[in-house]
Structure 1
Amino acid sequence: MTEESSTEQRVVTATSLGAASLVLTVGLLQFAQGIAGVAESEGFSVGYEYTYRFDLIVWGWFHIAFGVLLCVVGLALAAGARWARVAAIVLAAISILANFLWLPYYPSWSMVIIALDVAAIWAVSTWKPPPL
């Protein structure tokens, strides 16, 4: 093994672990967001004229289930599963949409998760794993 291929392998490993940690972080934040919704936290404020108005408890359970799913994909991505790359990109895109709809309930939290989702999509899509 040459020194160049060893360095390249370390970069690939660091990138894949970085992408996996981003997806895992988004999953944990989604889970926490769901728990806050189910508990009907008083930190939520809903505008009366918002078009996409949903029940807070239903949204909470959605975010809990979605957060668990993202955590599973993040762990699979860290383990090196190739299917997890596509799943991570698709789930992060769905997470962007879900958090856009969650904006009236908790705008700052939603914006942070949307930014992390964009970073996760970028990290996963630019990661070039070594050939088999």
Structure 2
Amino acid sequence: MAQTATPSGAPASRPTPPGQSRGGSSGWATGGTLFAGVLLFVDGVIAVLNGIVGINKDNVYTRIGDYTYRFSVTSWGWIHLVIGILLILTGIGILRGALWARFVGVGMAAVSIVANFMWLPYQPIWAIIAVALGVFVIWSLLTDRGRSAV
């Protein structure tokens, strides 16, 4: 198969498909990785605040209906506090460009999705939003191949 050449004699490069960067990842994923770091950080801050409220005031959150996954609100407060701190640290790592943070970010986003699914009876709207954000974070971190390994 013959390779085309430019007028200067150098081989012609293939045009980059729309929505893709030269590194092979989509522009959405590349920009999304930075956004994923911000989302993990913000989700962590909100989880820490939810945790503090759950630990301090057991009557702030009311369960809607009967649900299989029952924990006391204080237990949920500790769960959210720990997950929130880990999300904040992971988000900071992603924003600093640490490769380990991208891998940990996928795992922490998955943990956040599961925790928010189980948290549905207490804050259904926020839990659904947090699950959707977690899915975006996982997609973004797994599809960005634009950065080289550090």
Query: What is the TM-score of this pair, normalised by structure 2?
Result: 0.73
Q: 2:73 aligns with which of 41, 44, 56?
A: 56
- Structure 2 CA distance for partners of 1:102 and 1:15, relative to 1, 3 Å: closer
More contact order relative to length (CA 8 Å, sep ≥ 6): 1
Matched AA of 1:85: R
Letter in 2 for 1:24: F
- Given that 2:58 and 2:73 are in contact with CA atoms closer than 8 Å, whether structure 1 keeps it comes out as no
Residue by residue over 1:12-45, the C-alpha shift from the partner in whole angstroms, topping out at 9 and shown as x without a partner, is: 8744321211111211121122122113365522
Unaligned residue ranges in structure 2 (runs of 5+): 1-20
Larger Rg: 2
Give the RMSD, CA atoms, in angstroms: 2.3
CA distance in 2, matches of 1:130, 1:108: 34
Q: 1:16 to 1:48 in 2, by over 3 A?
A: closer
SS of 1:128's equivalent? coil
Identify if the C-alpha distance between structure 1 residues 108 and 15 changes in structure 2 by more than 3 Å, giving closer, same or farther: closer
Out of 76, 79, 87, the residue aligned to residue 93 of structure 2 is 76
- Alignment partner of 1:91 is 2:100: no
- Structure 1 distance, partners of 2:42, 2:147, is 25
* Residues matched between the structures, number: 125
Give the unaligned 5+ runs of structure 1: 1-6
Match of 2:141 in 1: 124
Query: TM-score, normalising length from structure 1?
Result: 0.81
* Alpha-carbon contact 2:40-2:88 (below 8 Å) kept: yes
Asked whether the equivalents of residues 20 and 74 of structure 1 are also in contact (C-alpha less than 8 Å), the reply is yes
Task: Assess, with a 3 A threshold, how the Cα gap between structure 1 residues 49 and 86 changes in structure 2: closer, same or farther.
Answer: same
Change in 2 beyond 3 A, CA 1:22/1:8: farther
